[in-house]
Each structure stands twice: as structure tokens, then as C-alpha cells.
Amino acid sequence: TSRGPVKPPMDSGLFVGFLLLLSIAARGSSVSTPLVLWHGMGDNCCNPLSMGSIKKMVEEEVPGIYVLSLMIGKNVVQDTENSFFMDVNEQVAFACDKLGQDPKLKAGYNAMGFSQGAQFLRAVAQRCPYPPMNTLISVGGQHQGVYGLPRCPGESSYICDWIRKKLNSGAYTDAVQKHLVQAQYWHDPLNDDLYIQHSLFLADINQERVVNDTYKKNLMSLKKFVMVKFLQDSVVDPVVSEWFGFFKTGQAEKAETLQESTLYKEDRLGLAEMDKAGKLVFLASEGDHLQFSRAWFNATLLPYLR
């Protein structure tokens, strides 16, 4: 019997298809760094109009990525309430605990915080080095706090009106500090001493009372610290806080940049050194607080997640 040419095990088109499938599977499992999200004031982990859609968008754009949107509390109602009323230091400890227990984050993660969630995630970076945070993306965060609450995002305006009154009548009293989240990043440039002595959260993470070398070392171990400022922001006052700037002390009109601040000049947080190493990224977006398009997100923030 004559033997024909040896037949390939499969049709070559099929074979190419098989290789393609293998490479797609390999890409899917070539683990992209997980992403942790922290929502803003009056929001929650899973709102389909905010964090829910961001999570979905990232999952669509970065196949196989693990995205954890932090829920502070047991359910979305608690999570939303806690964004107004839970001691921020306790919130940060709660988040650290969650991240530490998540086996998928063991090898490290990137973090993206929205509005106040951004400064809270910076506190996570400074206080909780394990698991390691690689890149921190701050989307409209207030790293030097706020002095004013001109407008509330979303539908919580009645709560905001109430909060505004409390803040104006005594942000640095112990009762208000303990129970009002926004008081804990209230930064009154006219009463610098009060701020330094009584701000339970922001003055601590910004090294206003003592310089904690651990905070500095931990923050400096970030690969990148990306800060997005919204050019037409009508919620955050002053807007330059989104780039870690603030009012010059003693008045509330003239602002200074991070680079002009004593925090930077004394380098209490390692930011000057990070800046020189090219680790600080300052981005601007047209639009009001947290208003951006998918195309902008795609082009501007996704490269840090891939």
C-alpha cells in the first residue's frame, strides 16, 4: 500500500486559530495589576451610575483585571452614610484590613480614589504598606483639604447644607471632628494653629504635627502618584488642593502650588524627592468635579492601569 504525504494533525487554519486562542488565554492570565477604587462623598462602592460603571469600564478595557471597589460598611446604605459620618481614621483602618485579607491583592495593586476617596487612599499608602500599592491615581482628591463646600455632588444637597453649617460653626471641635468626615479634611488657612492641633486626619497624614518617617518612606515607595485636577470644578475649594496646593497661610485668596509650600520645601512627606524622580504626575481635565468622558479616561488614565 502506498503511503500518502503525512497529514498535519489539523487543518492549518485551525492550527493558527488554536495558537491565537493560546496567546489570548496567556494574555488573559498574564496578570494585569489589580485595581482598588474608593468612592467619594455621598456615593458608594456599587452605584451603577458611578463606581459601578467605572469598574465595568475598566474590566472591559483591561481584560482579566481584578477590580475591587471598596465598600466601607456592610452594605451600600452604610457605605454611603459612612462617607459623611464615619471617623476617617477608622475608615482607613477598615480599608487596610480589607485589602490585607484579599488574596488577589497580595502581589500589589494600583489604587484610584475619587474626590475624598483619593486622600483616604493616600492615607492607606502611608499607613499600610502591605499589600503594596504601586500607583495611586487621585481623581479630584483634596490633598490639602478644603476651606468651603460650595456645592455638593450628586443628590445629597440637604445633607451638605447641614454639614456646611456645622463646619462653619466649629470644624475643629472634638465632637465635629470625630463624627463629620468633611471636618477631618477641613483646612482653615485663617486658623492654622487650630488646624494643626485639632485636625484628626488631614494634619496627621500631611505631617503637620510630627514627621512620621514611616509615612514618608511608604509614600515614596509608590511608583507613581497621579493627580487629576478638574479645571471647572465647582465643588472643591480651593481647586488647587487637587494638585496638593492650597491657600497661602493667613488668608483665603492667594493660592500656592505644592512646590511653593513648606510641606514640599521641608520635604516632610517625600513629595519633593518623588517630584525630582518623576513620580508625581499632574493632569488636568476640562469640566466640573469628576466629570469626564470615557474617551478621556481611556486616553489619560488607562495607560497607568495597563
Ligand X SMILES: *[C@@H]1O[C@H](CO)[C@@H](O)[C@H](O)[C@H]1NC(C)=O
Contact 267, 215 (CB under 8 A): no
Q: Which is nearer to ligand X, 79 or 208 (CB)?
A: 208
CB of 238 to ligand X, least distance (A): 28
Task: Look up 187 and say whether it is catalytic.
Answer: no
Among the listed residues 5, 210, 253, 306, the single contact to ligand X using CB under 6 A: 210
The beta strands (E) that lie in the chain are given as 35-38, 67-69, 109-114, 133-139, 224-230, 246-247, 255-256, 280-285
**Which residues make Cβ contacts (< 8 Å) with residue 256, sequence separation at least 6?**
240, 245, 246, 247, 248
Region near ligand X per CB under 6 A, out of 80-88, 234-242, 252-260, 290-298: 290-298
Cis peptide before 131 (omega within 30 of 0): yes
User: In whole angstroms, what is the distance from residue 255 CA to residue 262 CA?
Assistant: 13
- Residues contacting ligand X: total by CB under 6 A: 9
197 binds ligand X, rule: CB under 6 A = no
CB of 8 to ligand X, least distance (A): 35
Task: Look up 143 and say whether it is catalytic.
Answer: no
CB of 137 to ligand X, least distance (A): 17
Q: Which is nearer to ligand X, 128 or 236 (CB)?
A: 128
Side-chain-facing half-sphere of 47: CA atoms under 13 Å: 16
Burial track 170-190 (b if 16+ CB lie within 10 A, e otherwise): ebbeeebbbebbbbbbbbbbe
DSSP 144-184: T-BS-----STT-HHHHHHHHHHHHHHTTSHHHHHH-GGGG
CB of 292 to ligand X, least distance (A): 11
CB of 242 to ligand X, least distance (A): 24
User: In whole angstroms, what is the distance from residue 235 CA to residue 146 CA?
Assistant: 10
298 binds ligand X, rule: CB under 6 A = yes
Task: Look up 233 and say whether it is catalytic.
Answer: yes
168 binds ligand X, rule: CB under 6 A = no
Contact 184, 201 (CB under 8 A): yes
Q: Which is nearer to ligand X, 114 or 215 (CB)?
A: 215
Region near ligand X per CB under 6 A, out of 1-9, 84-92, 114-122, 208-216: 208-216
212 binds ligand X, rule: CB under 6 A = yes
Among the listed residues 214, 234, 249, 257, the single contact to ligand X using CB under 6 A: 214
Among the listed residues 122, 127, 143, 198, the single contact to ligand X using CB under 6 A: 127
Side-chain-facing half-sphere of 191: CA atoms under 13 Å: 13
Judge residue 297's burial from the number of C-beta atoms within 10 Å of its C-beta, 0-12 exposed, 13-18 middle, 19 or more buried.
middle
Region near ligand X per CB under 6 A, out of 25-33, 195-203, 206-214, 251-259: 206-214
102 binds ligand X, rule: CB under 6 A = no
* Interactions with ligand X, residue window 13-72 (CB under 6 A): 61
Catalytic positions are 115, 233, 289
Interface residues toward ligand X, by CB under 6 A: 61, 127, 210, 212, 214-215, 294-295, 298
